[in-house]
Structure 1
Amino acid sequence: MNVNTTIFFSIVIAVVLVRVIRRFLDLPTRLPRVNRLLDYIWVPGVALFALSSLISWKSDQLDEIYLLLVFGVGIWILLRLRTYRPARLLLLAVIPFVAYSAFELLLALVTPALLKDYDDSFEVAQAFTFIWLFTFALIARNQKNQLEKDRLLREEEEQAKQRISAQNVELERLVAERTATLTQQAEELRYALTELRITQNQLIQSEKMASLGELTAGIAHEIQNPLNFVTNFSDVSTELLTELEEEQQKADRDPELEAEILTDLKQNLQKITHHGQRAASIVRAMLEHSRANNGERQPTDLNKLADEYLRLAYHGLRAKDKTFNATITTFFDPSLGQISAVSQDLGRVLLNLFTNAFYAVQKKQKEGHTPGYVPTVSVNTLHRSSGEVEIRVRDNGTGIPESVKDKIFQPFFTTKPTGEGTGLGLSLSYDIITKGHDGTLTVETEEGEGTEFIITLPATKP
């Protein structure tokens, strides 16, 4: 192969090596100016090619000189990129090969005989430098691939961070919008709650007024009896006084008749006093029920209170329906005594329970599904051995369905038709017993058979 051909092949090899090193070291990005200069790596080869046609002395080493020049440029580039780990490994791979090639070229120029005498040794050394070159080149390539993977991973992580940052910004915006919406909704709910409390207070007042109306109707009917007695006994007493005056004006007076008339007058006056006190007691009960409650507990006779409100509830219903009659059975434990309680509140509870009981038996009677049905309401009081006081209100009315049993103490829940109940009676009664008196209010019922409400109160003595 002549010199021109070897130089030509050397130029091709140089161009290929430059292309490889450009891609391997990413020179367009890392060293853009050097990368542009490498476009002219062929110029020295062409110069040597021109020189080889003019100079024949030692011209067969010109291709080696050119390749050493190319490798020298490569070493210079690797030195500039020595902070890049694959470049350092590639530099370590190239230096022994370049050093050996330069040494061999030097011997070929100075003492060719020596190079020929130790040809085998130099071939072994050259093979070693080739092995060294390719081994470290592979290591450098693996390291570059690993670095590339790491770079891609870092880019993905950076992109993930950017996405997270963008999502955080979006979330902050959404949170701000949601916060503004929730703030507005909170204001609306606060306003609605205020309106609800006003409405609730109005409904509670309506429930109290309805209770007062039922009590007033019962009182009006109940107070009629003692007033009738007072009127009748007053009329009879007036007649007896007239008869006594006539007897006293007679010449022949009858002392026994006068004594009998006076005895009758005394009995009439006692009965007038008794029924007058009865009427006054009913009026006092009405006033206590309608008076504002100060929450102070006072000595209360539960037996008397239960009896009073039982009759008032019964007569209150009869004032609305003259045809209604019911059997009332009572057992008031004489050992009950007085307990410390808010009598007005307990009166409201008892009135509500009694009214509901009479309503249930009246409804069952009107339905007419039970032949021979007798409406019955029973009220019992008991002083338990545990020290608690118990009041039981039982009726044989319609009962409460199991599906709504757990709801009867909820505010605004009622089984009565629209307009006949607010659904606050039992709710207020439950609060008065449980919260106001530290007691319990429970219910036992069987649909179609009847209902029993059980009040348990601590027997706190006044």
Structure 2
Amino acid sequence: MKFDGQIIISILLAQFLVVRILRRFFDLPNRLPHWDKLLRWIWVPGVGLGIIDLLFNFRNDQLDEVYMLFVFVVVILVALALRDYRPARTVLLAVVPYTVYSAIELMLVVSDWKLGENYEDAFDASQGFTVIWMITFLLIARNQKKHLEKERLLREEEEQEKQRIATQNAELERLVAERTATLTKQTEELSQALTELKTMQTQLIQAEKMASLGELTAGIAHEIQNPLNFVTNFSDVSAELITELEEEKRKPTRNIDLETELLVDLKQNLQKITHHGQRAASIVKGMLEHSRASTGELQPTDINTLADEYLRLAYHGLRAKDKTFNATLYTNLYPELGQVNAISQDIGRVLLNLFTNAFYAVQKKKECVSDGYVPTVSVSTRRTEAGDVEVRVRDNGMGMPTTVKDKIFQPFFTTKPTGEGTGLGLSLSYDIVTKGHNGSLTVESQEGEYTEFTIRIPG
């Protein structure tokens, strides 16, 4: 009896390949460590078959078929143990048909049944089908494993990302707790600072109002001088007329016509004294209304009267500071403007601010350009097609560049030197018109040529 070493070599090689493929494909050391240990002894059946070959002299192809059948049974058992793993179920589906075919074929060969010879073509076709079936589903299992591996890697990345996010969240919570304590303290400090800021804001607004009151007071002092001079002059003349009338009455022969004429002159003087006294009283009343805190109530207001009066008061206020300054004043007041619901004190402040700025602009230009330049400030009113009241204040002063025009209504922005302006006048005027009267305040200007402010209030 001769020992055939090729059988042992083929058996050992087959078991090595099967074990290697199974361990790698199914990750047996991690999924089925018990099976992984058993597969290390898969060479024992092969060696046993080799010994049987030596003792009983089987045909070599029979031993190969027996061992291959054994190998496929092992694969089936491993796949069944991993039936919850989708690629394992696919491998099971792949090898079962071929294993069944191999078992039937081996049984026919061992039993020397002639059925295999009679249906040799059918068996060959069946073998080919089972081989193709096995290869196809093994490829499918391989693709499934790759897909599952990608999903596993993706899950691992997601889990790592979750852990990283959890770590970051923990760190952020710690930082937030620290910052919360800090911010709580800062909030208390800011609250106190805000209270102080509001107090300062109120003081600044009051300072701006007092500044405008100062401008108004200077104009009033100059403007009220005229009616007071008239009152004084007509009082003196009236006193002379009374003296002359008394002398005429003491004469033996009285001149009735002269007495009548003196009485008429005296009455006219008293009327003029009353007129100019009322004019002085209205100026004082305007000053008091300007200095009084606004009630915030809209009342019928004569915009034409306000515009005309504050134009002259602003002009005389500047002349009270600079006796050499002169300017041309133009008024184009729409006679049928009527009264408008407005807060007269606030609109007066707006007009006074615009007029004061206009006279300041023409005065500065006059200092720079002396030849042929006539300082001019104008005010005009009209009714728009929409029924709104529009007031335009224009001067031919220094004008302003675009960069300045874009900032002109910002709080504390001023083009005046330090000490000559608070930077709140136009800002407060803008708030009065837009927020207090639901109107608009716009400006058009060309540097070196003119500036024109337009107030529009709903009628």
> TM-score, normalised on structure 1?
0.79
Classify the secondary structure of the residue corresponding to 1:323.
coil
The answer for the alignment partner of 1:417 in structure 2 is 417
For each residue in 1:382-405, what CA deviation from the matched residue of structure 2 results, as whole angstroms up to 9, or x when unmatched? 456775544332222222324433
Taking the aligned partners of 1:334 and 1:47, their CA distance within structure 2 comes to 129
**Matched residue type, 2:376:** T
Judged with a 3 Å threshold, the aligned counterparts in structure 2 of structure 1 residues 120 and 206 are, in CA distance, closer, same or farther, namely same
Judged with a 3 Å threshold, the aligned counterparts in structure 2 of structure 1 residues 135 and 310 are, in CA distance, closer, same or farther, namely closer
The answer for the alignment partner of 1:25 in structure 2 is 22
Classify the secondary structure of the residue corresponding to 1:380.
strand
Give, in angstroms, the shift of residue 160 of structure 1: 3.5
**Matched residue type, 1:357:** A
Taking the aligned partners of 1:255 and 1:129, their CA distance within structure 2 comes to 160
Decide which of 154, 157, 161 is 1:157's aligned counterpart. 154
Give, in angstroms, the shift of residue 358 of structure 1: 1.0
Decide which of 86, 93, 102 is 1:97's aligned counterpart. 102
Taking the aligned partners of 1:52 and 1:262, their CA distance within structure 2 comes to 167
Judged with a 3 Å threshold, the aligned counterparts in structure 2 of structure 1 residues 457 and 334 are, in CA distance, closer, same or farther, namely same
| 2:297 is aligned with 1:300 | no
Taking the aligned partners of 2:392 and 2:328, their CA distance within structure 1 comes to 16
Give, in angstroms, the shift of residue 281 of structure 1: 1.0
Give, in angstroms, the shift of residue 239 of structure 1: 5.1
| 2:312 is aligned with 1:311 | yes
RMSD over aligned Cα atoms = 4.0
For each residue in 1:395-437, what CA deviation from the matched residue of structure 2 results, as whole angstroms up to 9, or x when unmatched? 2222232443344334443332333233332333334334444
Give, in angstroms, the shift of residue 364 of structure 1: 0.8
Give, in angstroms, the shift of residue 357 of structure 1: 1.5
| 2:294 is aligned with 1:289 | no
Taking the aligned partners of 2:133 and 2:384, their CA distance within structure 1 comes to 101
Taking the aligned partners of 2:436 and 2:35, their CA distance within structure 1 comes to 95
Q: Would you say the 8 A contact 2:332–2:379 is kept in 1? A: yes
Q: Would you say the 8 A contact 2:12–2:46 is kept in 1? A: no
Classify the secondary structure of the residue corresponding to 2:203.
helix
Q: Would you say the 8 A contact 2:397–2:450 is kept in 1? A: yes
- The aligned runs of 1:169-208 (5 Å cut-off) are 169=166, 172=169, 184=183, 187=187, 191=191, 197-208=198-209
Give the total of aligned pairs: 443
- The aligned runs of 1:300-449 (5 Å cut-off) are 300-367=301-368, 369-382=369-382, 387-449=387-449
Classify the secondary structure of the residue corresponding to 1:217.
helix
Q: Would you say the 8 A contact 1:97–1:126 is kept in 2? A: no
Classify the secondary structure of the residue corresponding to 1:22.
helix
For each residue in 1:52-91, what CA deviation from the matched residue of structure 2 results, as whole angstroms up to 9, or x when unmatched? 77x6xxx211866765664454354234233322134223
The answer for the alignment partner of 2:139 in structure 1 is 142
Q: Percent identity?
A: 51
Judged with a 3 Å threshold, the aligned counterparts in structure 2 of structure 1 residues 93 and 357 are, in CA distance, closer, same or farther, namely same
Judged with a 3 Å threshold, the aligned counterparts in structure 2 of structure 1 residues 279 and 387 are, in CA distance, closer, same or farther, namely same
The answer for the alignment partner of 1:87 in structure 2 is 92
Give the unaligned 5+ runs of structure 1: 108-113
Give, in angstroms, the shift of residue 365 of structure 1: 0.7
- Looking at CA atoms only, which structure, 1 or 2, has the larger radius of gyration? 1
> Relative to structure 2, which stretch is displaced further, 133-142 or 421-430?
133-142
Judged with a 3 Å threshold, the aligned counterparts in structure 2 of structure 1 residues 88 and 371 are, in CA distance, closer, same or farther, namely same
Classify the secondary structure of the residue corresponding to 1:445.
strand
The answer for the alignment partner of 1:111 in structure 2 is none
Judged with a 3 Å threshold, the aligned counterparts in structure 2 of structure 1 residues 360 and 4 are, in CA distance, closer, same or farther, namely same
The answer for the alignment partner of 1:3 in structure 2 is 2
Give, in angstroms, the shift of residue 164 of structure 1: 4.2
Q: Would you say the 8 A contact 1:48–1:62 is kept in 2? A: no
Taking the aligned partners of 2:433 and 2:116, their CA distance within structure 1 comes to 119
Q: Would you say the 8 A contact 1:229–1:275 is kept in 2? A: yes
Taking the aligned partners of 2:263 and 2:297, their CA distance within structure 1 comes to 47
Classify the secondary structure of the residue corresponding to 1:371.
coil
Taking the aligned partners of 1:452 and 1:42, their CA distance within structure 2 comes to 107
Give the unaligned 5+ runs of structure 2: none
Judged with a 3 Å threshold, the aligned counterparts in structure 2 of structure 1 residues 136 and 31 are, in CA distance, closer, same or farther, namely farther
Taking the aligned partners of 1:51 and 1:231, their CA distance within structure 2 comes to 153
Judged with a 3 Å threshold, the aligned counterparts in structure 2 of structure 1 residues 134 and 304 are, in CA distance, closer, same or farther, namely closer
Give, in angstroms, the shift of residue 455 of structure 1: 3.4
